[in-house]
Structure 1
Amino acid sequence: MALLGERPGTGTGTGRRTGATAPAPLRKAPPREPASREPAAPRHGHGPLPGLALAAAGVAVAAAVHLLVPAVPMLTAAVVLGIGAAHLPGARALVRGPARPGLSLAGKRLMRVGIVLLGLKLSVGDVLGIGWSTVAMVAVVVAATFAGTLWLGRRLGLPGDQPLLIATGYSICGASAIGAVSEVRESDERDVATSVALVTLCGTLAIAVLPLLHQPLGLDAGQFGRWVGAGVHDVGQVVATAQTAGPHALGQAVLVKLMRVALLAPLVAAVALSVRNRHRHTHRDAQAHAATAPGTKRPPLVPLFVLGFLAMVALRTTGLLPGAALDAAQFAQELLLAAALFGLGSAVHLPSLARTGGRVAALGLCSWVVIAGVSYAGVLLTA
């Protein structure tokens, strides 16, 4: 599990002190962009209420933007508004000060609840209904995109968990997948914010670019829908892109996309297993010095919110939930994820992002080409 569980050049480190000295790495890690250039948020005694209120206001504005311009998904608008709030002179002090605890809470806890409710969009019957050839195609697309993006991100020297998080976002379901994996990895908030910003930007560009390629590539409505479902990151972006080709394309796109969402659970479990193994090795090395040191607690093999996601899939499969309950759950899920993405967007610091912008942009472009090309080939082969 070295592919998932090790950061390049960091040995057994997890980004937190474990009470023991880690073995010296064999290779020197690429230098991380200095955090000192990013203004540190002062510590305040404020609770989460100011930040949660600001996130709620951001969700309201994002919903208004989506109503005025339906082609812009609410989740995309929430990320952009969060980034804007972090840099507007009038709101910047609030975001970095009194609102920071609540915004961080939204980016983590509300994201978990939103991911759990995301399971209500998928049933076992949906997976079986798209055919085993399409299931195999989706699995190949996810594996190729994840492995290729992770490898290239490390080759480019991106810091921290950025290669892993970006690979997860591209291959599974955008910001939701990034949030799930970052919870297990306990990733730095800056790595999460940068990854969300990149994946959201590329997914938004897909809304404009992919419909222009529909006719030149010679795809019928069903093929176009499956291509969009396999190659676009966020569920909202998939809907916005596929609906341009009609209801049949939209239905195919959503089914394929939900198949990718189903792979979120095994991916997070694999990451959790790698983290658990690393903690076990670290604890074994540290036993002589700090057998009871904080930070040596092993994470669960399957995080609770992933179990909740699977439980919601099982509940949806039973068919016991009425349509009104499913609609209400979808509405709540969109609100929760929008609030979480606003919180994550507010953690983006554009000057710091600009210092690695060339490498991040190169990774995003290459990954976009990989997932679009592999999914296009898969659609043609399964036609």
Structure 2
Amino acid sequence: MNNLVKDTHTKQTYFTSVKVILPGLLTAFIVAVISKVVAIWLPTLGAATIAILLGILLGNTFLKNPILEKGTKIAESKLLEFSVVLLGATVTFQTIAQIGLKGGIFVLLQMGLTIVASYVLGKKMQFSDNMSLLMAGGNAVCGSSAIASIAPAIHAKEEEKGQIITLVNLLGTILMLLLPIIGAIVYGTDILTKSALIGGTLQSVGQVVASASMINGQVVELAMLFKIMRIMLLVFVVYLFSKFKQQQFPTSTATETVPQKKNTALPWYVVGFVLFCIINSLVHLPAELSQTAHFFSGWFEITALAAIGLRLDFQKFFKEGKRFLIYGLSVGIIQVVLAIGLIFLLGL
């Protein structure tokens, strides 16, 4: 009898979860389908660009509804993660070789200089030590994921974490739309340099995919490689920030008791991407399998980008104070200038 009650409860919970998720997930998929159709007549824009722009338009007007929130969040995060993993099945060591040693040096310098500049600027603008470190890590590595990993290591408060996540996401959205234009103006048709600019600068994986998709599929692949290199350094950054905070405030960090769950492991989709890439390089997967992976990766990506657009609330741009917005925009300008300067100096 007890087992029957448990099974019934489990089924009810499952169906409740599906009901909550389905509206947003279906809406994101419908926007993706519409974008694919519209892209037939607007091939220059492409389905990915149309999906995120249409999502932004609808999400701030007709489809601004809390009932969609859970589903669009799942679509934005999980589908994009699966898309990244499947992208690994289309990449080989030969693709990675296109980035080369200079590309690796570029990523290290871009991350290091972004961290220093963001932290120093934050302190100059009288932000707390924690907020300056979170801003530095979020912009240098991988946006919200990096912030969530760094916060417990430096004993940041939930309020500090929330404010910086909002700011970093706002900055990333602006750069996501601007970098393809900047890349076209500065680098013309050069694929590698535009990939380095987008993959080495943008905050989240979704923003990298969305921005690179506005150019072409090859830029998506290469930009994601630059991005993956940054994410793989997350554990190292968390460790350094933790040590730095302990040295700066040895007493306060020992006595602070902020109950937060540590989360410093590499994201599963990065591991999956690397494994698929290794398998594809060593075994050379059948063309049919690679094509199938590319097909599903493309649909997951466009649905996720539609969800990102639907979730982008323009009101958040105006909720944060002027000082926050100035800080965010200043860090963004520094990142873009650093990237362009390093690409030139390294001769990428």
Instruction: Using structure 1 for the length normalisation, give the TM-score.
Output: 0.61
1:325 and 2:299 correspond:
no
Correspondence for 1:225:
191
1:143 and 2:115 correspond:
no
SS state at 1:263 partner: helix
Alignment size in residue pairs: 307
Q: Take 1:283 and 1:46, find their aligned partners in 2: how far apart are those partners? A: 45
- Within the candidate set 57, 71, 78, 1:102 is matched to 71
- Within the candidate set 339, 344, 348, 1:379 is matched to 344
Taking structure 1 as reference, are residues 372 and 297 closer, same or farther at Cα in structure 2, changes over 3 Å only? closer
1:82 and 2:82 correspond:
no
Correspondence for 1:115:
84
- Within the candidate set 273, 282, 302, 1:309 is matched to 273
Q: Take 2:123 and 2:73, find their aligned partners in 1: how far apart are those partners? A: 27
> Which residue identity is paired with 1:323?
A
1:142 touches 1:260 (CA, 8 Å); kept in 2? no
> Which residue identity is paired with 1:261?
K
1:55 touches 1:103 (CA, 8 Å); kept in 2? yes
2:176 touches 2:211 (CA, 8 Å); kept in 1? yes
2:122 touches 2:327 (CA, 8 Å); kept in 1? no
CA RMSD of aligned residues (A): 4.4
Taking structure 1 as reference, are residues 353 and 320 closer, same or farther at Cα in structure 2, changes over 3 Å only? same
1:199 touches 1:364 (CA, 8 Å); kept in 2? no
Taking structure 1 as reference, are residues 321 and 212 closer, same or farther at Cα in structure 2, changes over 3 Å only? same
1:145 touches 1:370 (CA, 8 Å); kept in 2? yes
- The Cα of 1:276 is off from its aligned counterpart by 9.6
* Residue-by-residue CA offset, 1:112-141 (whole Å, 9 max, x unaligned): 323323433543333335432343234323
Any residues of structure 2 matched to 1:29-48 within 5 Å, and which? 46-48=19-21
Correspondence for 1:343:
307
> Which residue identity is paired with 1:87?
N
Correspondence for 1:269:
235
> Which residue identity is paired with 1:57?
I
Q: Take 1:231 and 1:101, find their aligned partners in 2: how far apart are those partners? A: 32
> Which residue identity is paired with 1:178?
G
Task: Give the helix-richer structure, 1 or 2.
Answer: 2
- The Cα of 1:230 is off from its aligned counterpart by 1.7
- The Cα of 1:378 is off from its aligned counterpart by 3.3
2:143 touches 2:168 (CA, 8 Å); kept in 1? yes
Q: Which region of structure 1 is more displaced relative to structure 2, 47-56 or 148-157? A: 148-157
SS state at 1:48 partner: helix
- The Cα of 1:321 is off from its aligned counterpart by 1.5
SS state at 2:223 partner: helix
1:272 touches 1:302 (CA, 8 Å); kept in 2? no
- The Cα of 1:96 is off from its aligned counterpart by 0.9
2:82 touches 2:300 (CA, 8 Å); kept in 1? yes
- The Cα of 1:50 is off from its aligned counterpart by 1.1
1:55 touches 1:106 (CA, 8 Å); kept in 2? yes
Q: Take 2:172 and 2:265, find their aligned partners in 1: how far apart are those partners? A: 27
1:272 touches 1:301 (CA, 8 Å); kept in 2? no
SS state at 2:53 partner: helix
Q: Take 2:57 and 2:149, find their aligned partners in 1: how far apart are those partners? A: 28
Instruction: Using structure 2 for the length normalisation, give the TM-score.
Output: 0.66
SS state at 1:299 partner: coil
SS state at 2:80 partner: helix
Q: Take 1:82 and 1:189, find their aligned partners in 2: how far apart are those partners? A: 24
- The Cα of 1:53 is off from its aligned counterpart by 0.8
Identity of aligned residues (%): 16
- Within the candidate set 180, 186, 211, 1:237 is matched to 211
Structure 1: tracts of 5 or more residues without a match = 1-43, 216-220, 244-249, 288-294
Correspondence for 2:97:
128
Taking structure 1 as reference, are residues 108 and 322 closer, same or farther at Cα in structure 2, changes over 3 Å only? same
Q: Take 1:205 and 1:322, find their aligned partners in 2: how far apart are those partners? A: 37
Q: Take 1:57 and 1:153, find their aligned partners in 2: how far apart are those partners? A: 41
Q: Take 2:331 and 2:124, find their aligned partners in 1: how far apart are those partners? A: 13
* Residue-by-residue CA offset, 1:131-169 (whole Å, 9 max, x unaligned): 3234323432343235434654675559x979847965x
2:87 touches 2:221 (CA, 8 Å); kept in 1? no
- The Cα of 1:56 is off from its aligned counterpart by 0.9
Q: Take 1:67 and 1:146, find their aligned partners in 2: how far apart are those partners? A: 42
> Which residue identity is paired with 1:313?
C
Correspondence for 1:91:
63
1:116 touches 1:305 (CA, 8 Å); kept in 2? yes
> Which residue identity is paired with 2:80?
M
